[in-house]
Structure 1
Amino acid sequence: MVKNHGKKQRAKQRSRRTGAAHASAAAGTTHTHEPLPDMAVLEELPHRAGRELDTELAARLVAACRTACKPCQKTLAQKLRTEQRPTLVALAAAVYALVPSVGAFASATTRSWAPLARAGKSDPAAAAEALAAVEAMDDVAASELLEDALDHWSVGAIDSAEKLADMVKVVPADGAPPRQQPADPMDAFRDAGVKVFTLDDLDLGDDVDTYHLAPNYGVLLMRTTTPDGQPMPMLTLYPETEDAGIEDLERRTDWEHWGLHGMPDTDPAWRVRARISDRSLRGLVHVGADGKDTVELWRAAETVSLPDTWWDLLDRVQHVLVVGPVASPEAPGAMEAAGEAGELLAVVARVAFV
């Protein structure tokens, strides 16, 4: 009896130490998944808020995910959720504090927590709040956050946490290159001492229409399908003026790079205006906090009634996937080529019926 009791105690200790199921630990059949990733970078994240992390447990869990070992994933994930919430926070923050978007498939839990993670990069109070929020989650919510984070960690091409951190600092989650905010071409004149006046400096008032003074776009009606299989209206932007294009859109919008997978975030400040009386589209604008248009990318030059099926879909969904720029959107493969080159931006805009 004493011998058996000692064996059971050693099995329990081995189970607690390795995260393996008790039966496996008792039988001496525990296994590891190689190579174990280096999780030292987790210790440098402010989101741990000074708490001790179990980087060995994190490494074993990520390794199990990369080898698709379901039993180990289940056991180790449960151990992490119940005993090591700070480590869970560090795993999630290494992803969601750095990527610009959680992606279309992320859970509601992750979507609500990710802003805390991003704020925690530079604000110790926000980092502590991110930790507190996870510690207050029930098991279901903690599971959702952990599963979403592990989807990123399980990418086989990433060999260590440090490489993941380096990657997400320069590459958004969809694999596109980082956004480049083009320099103002007038800066060269300013640096040379030349006085530069802008339209804002001239204060021309609201009576002056500045639409054609900025780059303009045309739109092509399309349809797409959401990740859950639902139809959705789509507009593809193409340049109508020489200065319209990827650099202009990056300067005038905060749309995310999109690689034709999943669905970009919804921004209700972007509006596709549709007129009910003649079933036509009128424009694509960004509306500021004061209700005034701050950016106008496209304006209908003439009234064209939409096809009944497209209008009915617009009326039902009341959101539009807006994608661009594509120089020749009707050319076969043009959009795919732009997406693969990292030169495609997208947003889900609201429909404003007028």
Structure 2
Amino acid sequence: MAFAPNIHSWVYLAEFQNGGTWKGSFQNKNPYTLADFAKLSQEEQRAVYTARNQFSELCLVSYTSQYALGVFEGLKAFPQADGSWTMFRPLDNCKRMQRSMAGILQPTMEPEALLEALLELMRHTIEQGVDIKYQSSWERDHFNNACAIYIRPFSYSEPGLGVNRSQTPWIIAVSTPVSGYFDSGKSTAMISDRVRAMPGGTGWIKCASNYVISMLARCEAREKGFMEAIFLDGKEQRYLEEGSGSNIFVLLKNGTLVTPELKDTILPGITRDSVIKLAKAEGTCVEERPVSISELLSDGAELFATGTAAGLVPIHGIDYKGSYYDISSQDEESLTVRLQTRLKGIQYGLLPDPYDWVVKI
């Protein structure tokens, strides 16, 4: 159940009106019970997913399809041991989507309104039936391969040709079942020589165009046997910035946890913010500042990536300019594993949530 467009039948569509309001509706596209869907052949199942991925309301030639003028979010619904479902900090995702849409000059939806739409979408989806239940076996590897529902709201423009802003965009939300984002096995990364973002650009916005470079770098890394690509800054190619789809943390040998400070080249990750709070709560000194590749290689004790899709993933080694460097094995006593256990424990309801991050569906 890796990331794939295996879209659940319920979807949400909202169109911005010239009067300044959003007109939204829920659609149940090609619905099946779990039992009936399981009876279909693989080819028939693929046909259902393809049909669910077609939206007659959306145009082919648009500012989004031609110029990548669109934004998106990613958040998850988590199954709980008692059979209920929750979402993790969903209002923060909705606020970030509002900032992203404003960042590319699209009209925005109030975060609270988008959150209610996403909650209702999940209520419909879960009632329809999803083949995911909490498994105690997930706890054995700190939920590395646990399943969840991934929720993807995104914006899409009206018809357009010629570089211009979107005046009456759509917001669409779909969901899919997911498990681990990265391939299982030893976690390693390659320092990419590509530039993800430059000052004054859109690096801080979760917009479609940013992910072209991320895709190229990640594909190059995977072709060479690495799990992830890590970008350095665009000006000096000296300081760590992000992974292809994640924020980056370095635990120094002196016990200080460092992560690149937020600026307009770095996406303000919600998991990133959560990890900072969890680390500080257990007494770890956390610094948000520039961290150079040379500091990582000379003083780094642990390295990990964070993100909604990734969760919290240890990185055991990196390739830099053709040379491979081992990082700590990160055993059960490491800060990486402790933070991973706490974060996932809160998300899956195994541990208490003192921060009011969890929202019941």
TM range (shorter): under 0.3
TM-score (norm 2): 0.27
Q: Whose strand proportion is higher, 1 or 2?
A: 2
TM-score (norm 1): 0.27
Q: Whose helix proportion is higher, 1 or 2?
A: 1
